[in-house]
A and B are shown apart, each in its own frame.
Chain A
Amino acid sequence: NAGVTQTPKFQVLKTGQSMTLQCAQDMNHNSMYWYRQDPGMGLRLIYYSASEGTTDKGEVPNGYNVSRLNKREFSLRLESAAPSQTSVYFCAIKPGPGPINIQYFGAGTRLSVL
């Protein structure tokens, strides 16, 4: 998966629990992204990070926080999980500079919130 590792692969939470989804890249790319994918909705951007130490909101950031403490890792945190956050979460990296938009994805984390 283009050197993008996501953990865990599966997770079941109860409403109100918290958890952190981890994403790590084995290269030195600046841009990293978190998406969620729901049936009939396509991939929607939650947060992205254009470089180490910077993060910005995407289309659906509510209920999530992110952290980019170093260049390799970009984590997504659910502070108080809700059933609406049941989804498949993908982390992606963008190797190219400037207008080269190609993104490469990790294998995903399937999250169920009961």
Chain B
Amino acid sequence: EDKVVQSPLSLVVHEGDTVTLNCSYEVTNFRSLLWYKQEKKAPTFLFMLTSSGIEKKSGRLSSILDKKELFSILNITATQTGDSAIYLCAVGGLQTGANNLFFGTGTRLTVIP
């Protein structure tokens, strides 16, 4: 059965801290792993990773994929209150002929001033 597990479920940090969010997966015919940020409304796309060991970076956020160990991490350095959100990990696989995403339950990050 396809599965995406995120940890921790929730995290509270102070501004300026660095956080690491984890995502492990078991998905049939893996194609890609995606990270989304969800504040009050729609999830917004952050990164897509398809190859092991290649870091994707955007400002203070970075992510890396390990296809051998079936996991990814999302790092946020120098956290700000605006980073408070639910971070969703999704894995894309080829199921029944469609390129669908399978989501984890998310990590709720709270950054306090």
Within 8 Å of chain B (Cβ to Cβ): is A50?
A: yes
**What residues on B are CB-neighbors of A31 within 8 Å?**
98-99
Q: A101 to B32, Cβ gap below 8 A?
A: yes
How many residues on the B side are at the interface (Cβ–Cβ under 8 A)? 25
**How many interface contacts (CB-CB < 8 Å) are there between A and B?**
65
B103 and A42 within 8 A (CB) = yes
**Residue A48, interface by CB 8 Å:** yes
Contact yes or no, B92 A99, CB < 8 A: yes
State whether the Cβ of B31 lies closer than 8 Å to any Cβ in chain A.
Answer: yes
Q: Which residues of A contact B42 (CB under 8 A)?
A: 1, 90, 105-108
User: Quick check: is B100 within 8 A (CB to CB) of the other chain?
Assistant: yes
For A103, the chain B residues whose CB sits under 8 A away are: 45, 101
Would you list 25 pairs from A and B whose C-beta atoms are within 8 A, ordered by A residue?
Answer: A35-B103, A41-B105, A42-B106, A43-B43, A43-B88, A43-B90, A43-B101, A44-B103, A45-B100, A48-B98, A48-B100, A90-B43, A98-B99, A100-B48, A100-B99, A101-B34, A101-B99, A101-B101, A102-B34, A102-B48, A103-B45, A103-B101, A104-B45, A106-B42, A107-B42
